[in-house]
Amino acid sequence: MAGVTTAKKEHLSHEMGMHTEGLVGRTQQRFFDISEENVGYGYPDAPDVDFNKRAEIDCENLETRQINSQLRDLIRHGFGTIVLKNPGSKHSIAVGVLNRLNLYIEGSCGYFACGLTDGPNIRIKGRVGWACGENMLAGTIVIEKNAGSQFGAALRGGDLVCKGSVGARTGIDQKGGNIIIGGDTGSFSGFMMQRGRMVILGDAGKNLGDSMYDGTIYLGGEARSLGVDAVPGEMTDLDRQWLTRKLKMYDMYPKQGIGHIKKIVAGKQLWNYDNLEPGEKKLVL
């Protein structure tokens, strides 16, 4: 880690190198002036939509690009509730939706469904393939059945919910938001997790939370094994209250109750990994 120092600092952020590591590149910040009239709290070019204004798209004979193009056209015309019928497990459906929207997908989606979204509330009645909700910023996505691997990869915000089971590497590189799984998850879930929460009501595969830097994993079942630097944490009343509220929102509840859920956090032995001696690195790994 660049700029990490072993000297004692006043704030934890100094120890993490946040004040000494130079960041370069083009800024991704977007600025808003709330004093302007008719400005919302979304993107400056985001159209206003009416949730009572409803439309449907039959996707059966359409390619992915046509589906997404028609979806954006309807949003620009103010439709706030849109139904996609017969999606046919096509890939990359509803990617890059940066607007408030109620979107219902009546069927299953393929790879990369609903990625790069910021604001919509999406419900998928079928299954999804790999990397659903990748880089999601805000909003909700609820899948009624199962999901593939890399569910919620690099998630940044919002709630990503699968009421069934998911594949391996769930929440890889998660940076925020909440991932909630009603069933089981595969191996290396929570790999390199940086922030946010993951709730698994079933069992987890091997190496759960491997190399996680921060964040919290809640596990209702059993993990085949914990990964490097993932350790048990202490459940608090705040944890239980948050779980109760959040799971109630999606009509999900663990079979054995909240009291049986376990908490997994980062051991933080990898935070200053580059500064460790070779023998110490072997002990950590």
Collapsed DSSP state (helix, strand, coil) of residue 204:
strand
User: Could you report the per-residue pLDDT of 14-61, keeping only the tens digit for each?
Assistant: 554 545 555 555 555 555 554 555 444 567 778 899 999 999 999 999
User: Could you report the per-residue pLDDT of 250-259, keeping only the tens digit for each?
Assistant: 999 888 889 9
Are residue 189 and residue 110 in the same domain, yes or no?
Answer: no
Structural domain includes residue 42 = no
Are residue 166 and residue 284 in the same domain, yes or no?
Answer: yes
Give the rounded percent of residues in the chain with a pLDDT score beyond 70: 80
Query: What pLDDT was estimated at residue 278?
Result: 59
Are residue 55 and residue 181 in the same domain, yes or no?
Answer: no
User: Could you report the per-residue pLDDT of 97-141, keeping only the tens digit for each?
Assistant: 999 999 999 999 999 999 999 999 999 999 999 999 999 999 999
Q: Count the helices and strands in the chain (H runs, E runs).
A: 4, 11
Upper half-sphere CA count for residue 220 (Cβ side, 13 Å):
22
Where are any strands of DSSP class E within 132-172? 138-143, 159-162
Domain end among 128, 154, 178: 128
Structural domain includes residue 54 = yes
Are residue 157 and residue 77 in the same domain, yes or no?
Answer: no
Number of domains forming the structure of the chain: 2
Structural domain includes residue 96 = yes
Structural domain boundaries, residue 195: 146-285
Are residue 162 and residue 118 in the same domain, yes or no?
Answer: no
End-to-end CA distance of the chain: 17
Whether the pTM exceeds 0.85: the reply is: no
